[in-house]
Amino acid sequence: VGFEPEPRSSHPYLLVDFRLLHYRPGRAGPVSARGVRRLLSFQRYRHPSRSACRQPNRSQLCVLDQDYAGQAKCMLERAGSWSFDIFLFDRLTNGNSLVTLTAHLFNHYGLIELFQLDMVKLHRFLVMIQEDYRRQNPYHNAVHAADVTQAMYCYLQEPKLVSSLTSFDILLGLLAAATHDLDHPGVNQPFLVKTQHYLAALYQNSSVLENHHWRSAVGLLRQSGLLDHLPAEDRQSLERRLGSLILATDINRQNEYLSQFRSHLDRGDLNLENSAHRHLILQMALKCADICNPCRPWELSKQWSERVTQEFFQQGDVEKKHNLEVSPFCDSQSNTIADIQTGFMSYVVEPLFSEWARFSNTQLSRAMLRHLDLNKAHWTDEMDPKTHPQGNQGGPAQDPWRDQLYLSDGC
């Protein structure tokens, strides 16, 4: 397909010690050599686990989630609920929410039988995906990937999609959701660019992280051999389309995809029998799933808001320590969770979900917009009245989210 996937091998990182991102004052004991290599290499060295390498008992693999009893099994039965608590599910599955949920959905849709997937290879593939998400990241970790996969499942159940998507579309959508942030380093693209990281040079400062996620996902697909039995043409098509979906999650290209989607809705010419139009809908569904946290019930949304802000502030602390310009939203002294979230909801989330509701005007879409309004009101109430006087909460032109979208749209 014209590119080499990124293998699980070592790449040196010389400028910033990423142990600083996950350092906790007062933690006893030195960092192990393995831990240092893992942090400095973005996990690109091979680290197979016993669970991934051992030969599983085939009698236990008929349905990968059948051994999970009690509450975890009950939760899987309502995996299509928008109030699904992924944090609770991750605890009940002992940190294996991504493997368990994705395996359950593959079985639910009959993808294992339809595409004749080897159960051992599938299990290894899912374990490798989960392991290549960095647990130290407060936000971009395997729980986030599981949450996005669950949201994608909710969207795949929408009437318009149920009646039009093929099994190949469903397979592609679930794979993209599970791998869309694979091996995320916990810092953003501007950080990689200004520290001259090799990934920024490799992808020429364009959709750096999204390209890395895509190539890493293809690398795991090929390493696991999960699809080796399919014709080469089908494998190459899936890899290309997987990249197209993951690249669509680049926040800097938000206006590009939103304008295209809005134009189709204005003209009323979306034809879901057309494979290109179905692919656009999958792109928009993945974009919605990726940033759906503000549209969840408050108890879940608040936890995600705190986690992503913590990750922002960790990056800002590293930038300050190394005398780098602090990235927008990353300065804990000048930003608050409420400031960041209200701008994000107003300029990124609301325009996207409003257009999605035009396309799929269902109970789920209305519930998401209702939660968005309530959550935005919660954060607005917590904003500092000294910095955001009543009636002028920063002003549209002063909001960094608005500025970022406009600048990226003009590049």
Three-class HEC string of the chain: CCCCCCCCCCCCCCCCCHHHHHCCCCCCCCCCHHHHHHHHCCCCCCCCCHHHHCCCCHHHCCCCCCCCCHHHHHHHHCCCCCCCCHHHHHHHCCCCHHHHHHHHHHHHCCHHHHCCCCHHHHHHHHHHHHHCCCCCCCCCCHHHHHHHHHHHHHHHCCHHHHCCCCHHHHHHHHHHHHHCCCCCCCCCHHHHHHCCCHHHHHCCCCCHHHHHHHHHHHHHHHHHCCCCCCCHHHHHHHHHHHHHHHHCCCHHHHHHHHHHHHHHHHHCCCCCCCHHHHHHHHHHHHHHHHCCHHHCCHHHHHHHHHHHHHHHHHHHHHHHHCCCCCCCCCCCCCCCHHHHHHHHHHHHHHHHHHHHHHHCCCHHHHHHHHHHHHHHHHHHHHCCCCCCCCCCCCCHHHCHHHHHHHHHHCC
Q: Which of 104, 140, 212, 213 is catalytic?
A: 140
Tally the domains of the chain: 1
Range of the domain at 291: 69-385+400-405
Express each pLDDT in 26-38 by its tens digit.
Answer: 444 444 444 433 3
User: For the domain that residue 282 is a member of, what is the CATH number?
Assistant: 1.10.1300.10
Express each pLDDT in 366-394 by its tens digit.
Answer: 999 999 999 999 999 998 666 565 544 44
Q: Is there a domain that residue 12 lies in? A: no
Express each pLDDT in 39-69 by its tens digit.
Answer: 333 334 334 444 444 454 544 444 444 555 5
The reply, when asked if residue 180 is annotated as ligand binding, is yes
Q: Is there a domain that residue 41 lies in? A: no
Task: Supply the mean pLDDT for the chain.
Answer: 85
Q: Is there a domain that residue 352 lies in? A: yes
Q: Is there a domain that residue 62 lies in? A: no
The reply, when asked if residue 181 is annotated as ligand binding, is yes
Q: Is there a domain that residue 4 lies in? A: no
**Is residue 123 flagged as an active site residue?**
no
The reply, when asked if residue 141 is annotated as ligand binding, is yes
The reply, when asked if residue 308 is annotated as ligand binding, is no
The reply, when asked if residue 143 is annotated as ligand binding, is yes
pTM recorded for the entire structure: 0.84
Q: Is there a domain that residue 208 lies in? A: yes
Express each pLDDT in 126-157 by its tens digit.
Answer: 999 999 999 999 999 999 999 999 999 999 99
Q: Is there a domain that residue 264 lies in? A: yes
List, in order, residues 6 or more apart from 141 with CB less than 8 Å away.
133, 134, 135, 184
Express each pLDDT in 182-224 by its tens digit.
Answer: 999 999 999 999 999 999 999 999 999 999 999 999 999 999 9
Q: Is there a domain that residue 28 lies in? A: no
- What is the reported pLDDT for 8? 62
